[in-house]
Amino acid sequence: MPDELIRLPLFPLNVVMFPNTSIPLQIFEERYQQMLKDCLEGDSRFGVTLIKEGAEVGDPATPHLVGTVADIVHVNRVSGDRFFISIFGSERFEIVEISQQLPYLAADVRLLEDEVEIDVPPTEMAQIRKAATEHVRLRYGLNGGWVRESQLPDDPLNLSYFIGGMLQASLPEKQALLEEPSTSRRLEAELDLLRREGDELRKQVTLQLRSRFSRQ
């Protein structure tokens, strides 16, 4: 039920997490150690939100209202009370009401439903997939690697989340993509960003190659 509220611990970060993507996190603050313990004793999930005001460390930050539910998939405890965890994004949510009764933020949130019918013309999908593939190849090239084919999701929704996660756009731009309710409009905006970043990545690869050959 789309209007049903659920309670989620919140982890405000300087990152935008998209569904179907994974990120590593380091847990060292006492409040987030407690959050991790509570999550592992519960359903092993919390909400990741981009920080709107404040910082990751210190006083509680003010989060953006739209974030992503994160499932804990791996926990590794290192020296002391420091943890490295891996999380995987599942669903988008919107914060309805924030609670500060615990050492960490928690909120009543409404899960956001994704579109069932997505109308993206085949020609536009081909352009998006081509730009995304080129983006992956250029990123590999900058790191001294090479890839023939990039494994892109087939369906438009998951493709839009995959692209959102790999873009190097500004945090406000990525947050706007996460908040966009229309998959087709999200993909349209991502195509513009892929083309912009592609131009910059090509310049960086060219400069790197020139520098490499000039030293030979």
- Domains belonging to the chain, first-starting first, are 5-111 (2.30.130.40), 122-214 (1.20.58.1480)
Q: Phi/psi zone of residue 32: left (φ > 0), alpha (ψ -120 to 50 degrees), beta?
A: alpha
Q: Which residues of 8-20 are buried (b: 16+ CB within 10 A; e: fewer)?
A: bbbbbbebbbbbb
For residue 124, pLDDT beyond 90:
yes
* Spatial distance between the Cα atoms of 131 and 135, rounded to a whole number of angstroms: 6
Could you read off the pLDDT of 24-68 as tens digits, one per residue?
Answer: 999 999 999 999 999 999 999 999 999 999 777 767 789 999 999
- Per-residue pLDDT averaged across 205-209, rounded? 72
Could you read off the pLDDT of 132-190 as tens digits, one per residue?
Answer: 999 988 887 777 666 666 789 999 999 999 999 999 999 999 999 999 999 999 999 99
Sign of the torsion formed by the C-alpha atoms of 190, 191, 192 and 196:
positive
**Closest to 96 measured CA to CA, from 10, 214, 185, 186:** 10
pLDDT at 1: 46
Strands 106-111 and 83-99: antiparallel
Strands 45-53 and 5-13: parallel
Six token digits for residue 54: 């404040």
